[in-house]
């Protein structure tokens, strides 16, 4: 199965699950409040499958899996016979209507907790955030961070693994300072340092948040031993073989892969003399890196070699697994962290601390779904939880076309003692739709530019 087809199928499954959860929230609370639900649809367009239950609700699976809806009996949409008015949405109290609208995002939050509960029950392999190296003159170096220290907190928020530290650091974008709690691996002594992030530059498309601060975590490292040589590449044409070890380039001793990579990238179409170790003997070859143009328009040299990778350092990799009840607490805590991050990133978009060019659309989500599904169930559950939380938070934004917009109108109705006029609501819906379509367009263009 091709990567594109796998990504598409994974995307459809993920979106189908999350939309079903969201709409079921609306559906279940509507039923509990005595509202007649006329249709529960997953997807739009032509119905592929339909059936009715004993209460008259039509359930539909439609052809376009990009959303869904619950259509309730409502006098503002359909004529309603007098004997059925008590079953209409618009005849329910404001609090009942607010509960029905809020139930969709609430269901997504609950599902995130469930997905993460199951993930922690199965066990998720993760890594301890142990600093292996600090880049000279970096933000981390200026703060006095040294290797063999584990990050245990970010701005007083406790963190046990690299993933949670990553999320917490991203949440701090735009701040002038970040306080890290560190524990020395050898002595187990703890201390705090403050990162000066006034000039922090972080581009999530080209680097990790750790790299942007000058931190290299303990993990397998690329070696100067060659694992594979690409067919037809400059390296193959020069006679480089798998299992060769690069000792020198143009009489410069090679210490590590980043140094080697830097030399090759900056030597497009320039002959390089390689000193290799092959079967215990030194071999000298001349290779000329091919010219390659990056998506940003920069030229770079490409040799066509893939490095071998070292084993995991001792004590870094471990499995987070909890019992049935402890996994609930872990799932709630992780969901709260994802929620806090989602809200923070929306605020940073509005303030300009994060550029709209970093918005991701359906293509990026499909790629994420395909990648995590390929890794396994645990990774896919983590992805579903992340997207479910994002879906809930976005739906609670006070844009009239979203659940949050409906809730905003109902809050105004509570304060005014009467509903907001239909004309005002219509203007709001058009304005909200314009904003939403604009953001979706930007996200889609961003996706296309990354292909």
What is the Cα–Cα distance from 248 to 228, expressed in whole angstroms? 19
| Chain centroid offset of residue 101 CA | 26
* From 23, 269, 282, 426, active-site residue: 23
Tokens for 341, please give them: 């991050």
Quick one: 293 exposed, middle or buried, by C-beta within 10 A (0-12, 13-18, 19+)? exposed
In-domain check, residue 21: no
- Is the same domain home to 295 and 336? no
Q: What is the pLDDT of residues 195-215, one digit of tens each?
A: 999 999 888 777 889 999 999
Nearest Cα neighbor of 409 from 393, 421, 391, 394 is: 421
Exposure string over 206-219, b if 16+ CB within 10 A, otherwise e = eeebbebbbbbbbe
pLDDT at 247 over 90: yes
- Is the same domain home to 192 and 332? no
Label residue 1 by pLDDT band (50, 70, 90): low
- Is the same domain home to 422 and 339? yes
Residues 6+ apart with CB under 8 A from 416: none
Percent of the chain whose predicted confidence (pLDDT) is above 90: 55
According to DSSP, the residues that pair with 70 across neighbouring strands are 40
- Is the same domain home to 450 and 439? yes
| pLDDT at 78 (0 to 100) | 81
Residues 6+ apart with CB under 8 A from 109: 335, 339, 388, 389, 392
| Chain centroid offset of residue 209 CA | 13
What is the Cα–Cα distance from 329 to 305, expressed in whole angstroms? 46
Tokens for 337, please give them: 């962290």
Q: What is the CA radius of gyration of the chain?
A: 27
Residues 6+ apart with CB under 8 A from 96: 33
3-state helix, strand, coil in the chain (%, to 5): 45, 25, 30
- Is the same domain home to 118 and 145? no
Q: What is the pLDDT of residues 431-451, one digit of tens each?
A: 888 888 888 888 777 767 666
Residues 6+ apart with CB under 8 A from 404: 395, 396, 397, 398
- Is the same domain home to 209 and 227? no
| pLDDT at 421 (0 to 100) | 85
| pLDDT at 35 (0 to 100) | 92
Out of 270, 300, 320, pick the residue that ends a domain: 320
In-domain check, residue 88: no
| pLDDT at 408 (0 to 100) | 92
- Is the same domain home to 181 and 316? yes
Nearest Cα neighbor of 344 from 393, 391, 385, 384 is: 393
Is residue 269 among the annotated active site residues? Answer: no
In-domain check, residue 64: no
What does the mean pLDDT of the chain come to? 89
According to DSSP, the residues that pair with 140 across neighbouring strands are none
From residue 263, give the alpha-carbon distance in Å to each of 50, 267, 282, 308: 62, 6, 20, 18
141 near 193, Cβ under 8 Å? no
In-domain check, residue 447: yes
Angle at 123 between CA 118 and CA 125, to 5 degrees: 130
pLDDT at 7 over 90: no
289 near 263, Cβ under 8 Å? no
The CATH number given to whatever domain includes residue 178 is 2.30.42.10
Quick one: 10 exposed, middle or buried, by C-beta within 10 A (0-12, 13-18, 19+)? buried
| Chain centroid offset of residue 127 CA | 18
Its domain, for residue 231, covers 222-309
- Is the same domain home to 431 and 366? yes
Q: What is the pLDDT of residues 114-168, one digit of tens each?
A: 999 999 999 999 999 999 999 999 999 999 999 999 999 999 999 889 999 999 9
- Is the same domain home to 172 and 258? no
- Is the same domain home to 275 and 400? no
Angle at 56 between CA 55 and CA 57, to 5 degrees: 100
Out of 286, 309, 332, pick the residue that ends a domain: 309
Phi-psi region of 232 (alpha: psi -120 to 50; beta: other; left: phi over 0): left
Number of Cβ within 10 Å of residue 356's Cβ equals 13
**Overall domain count for the chain:** 3
pTM here is: 0.84
- Is the same domain home to 285 and 422? no
From residue 129, give the alpha-carbon distance in Å to each of 126, 139, 165, 178, 318: 10, 17, 7, 16, 11
In-domain check, residue 2: no
Out of 309, 344, 379, pick the residue that ends a domain: 309
In-domain check, residue 11: no
In-domain check, residue 345: yes
Q: What is the pLDDT of residues 35-71, one digit of tens each?
A: 999 999 998 888 889 999 988 899 999 988 888 899 9
């Amino acid at each position: 199965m091709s990567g594109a087809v796998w990504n598409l199928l994974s995307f459809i499954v993920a979106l189908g699950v999350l939309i079903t959860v969201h709409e079921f929230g609306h559906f279940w609370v509507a039923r509990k409040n005595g509202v007649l639900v006329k249709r529960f649809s997953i997807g739009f367009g032509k119905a592929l499958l339909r059936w009715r239950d004993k209460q008259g609700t039509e359930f539909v699976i439609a052809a376009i899996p990009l959303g869904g809806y619950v259509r309730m009996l409502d006098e503002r949409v359909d004529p309603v016979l007098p004997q059925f008015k008590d079953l209409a949405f618009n005849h329910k109290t404001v609090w009942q209507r607010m509960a029905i609208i809020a139930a969709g995002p609430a269901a997504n939050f609950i599902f995130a907790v469930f997905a993460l509960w199951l993930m922690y029950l199965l066990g998720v392999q993760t890594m301890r955030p142990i600093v292996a190296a600090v880049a000279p003159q970096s933000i981390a170096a200026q703060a006095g961070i040294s290797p063999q220290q584990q990050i245990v907190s970010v701005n007083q928020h406790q963190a046990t693994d690299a993933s949670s530290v990553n999320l917490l650091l991203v949440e701090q974008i735009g701040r002038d300072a970040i306080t890290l709690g560190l524990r020395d691996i050898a002595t187990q002594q703890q201390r705090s340092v403050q990162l000066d992030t006034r000039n922090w530059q972080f581009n999530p498309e080209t680097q990790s948040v750790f790299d942007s601060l000058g931190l290299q975590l303990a993990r397998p490292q690329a070696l100067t031993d060659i694992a594979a040589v690409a067919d037809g590449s400059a390296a193959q044409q020069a006679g480089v073989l798998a299992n060769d070890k690069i000792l020198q380039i143009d009489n410069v001793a090679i210490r590590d892969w980043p140094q080697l990579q830097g030399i090759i990238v900056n030597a497009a179409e320039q002959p390089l003399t390689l000193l290799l170790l092959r079967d215990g003997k030194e071999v000298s070859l001349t290779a000329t890196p091919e010219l390659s143009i990056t998506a940003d328009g920069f030229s770079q040299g490409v040799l066509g070699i893939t490095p071998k990778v070292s084993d995991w350092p001792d004590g870094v990799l471990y499995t987070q697994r909890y019992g049935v009840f402890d996994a609930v607490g872990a799932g709630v805590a992780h969901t709260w962290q994802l929620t806090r991050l989602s809200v923070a990133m929306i605020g940073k978009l509005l303030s300009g601390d994060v550029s709209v060019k970093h918005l991701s659309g359906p293509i990026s989500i499909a790629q994420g779904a395909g990648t995590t599904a390929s890794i396994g169930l645990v990774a896919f559950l983590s992805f579903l939880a992340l997207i479910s939380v994002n879906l809930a938070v976005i739906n609670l934004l006070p844009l009239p076309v979203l659940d949050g917009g409906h809730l905003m109108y109902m809050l105004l109705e509570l304060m005014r003692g009467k509903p907001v006029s239909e004309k005002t609501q219509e203007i709001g819906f058009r304005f909200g739709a314009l904003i939403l379509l604009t953001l979706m367009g930007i996200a889609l263009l961003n996706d296309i530019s990354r292909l």
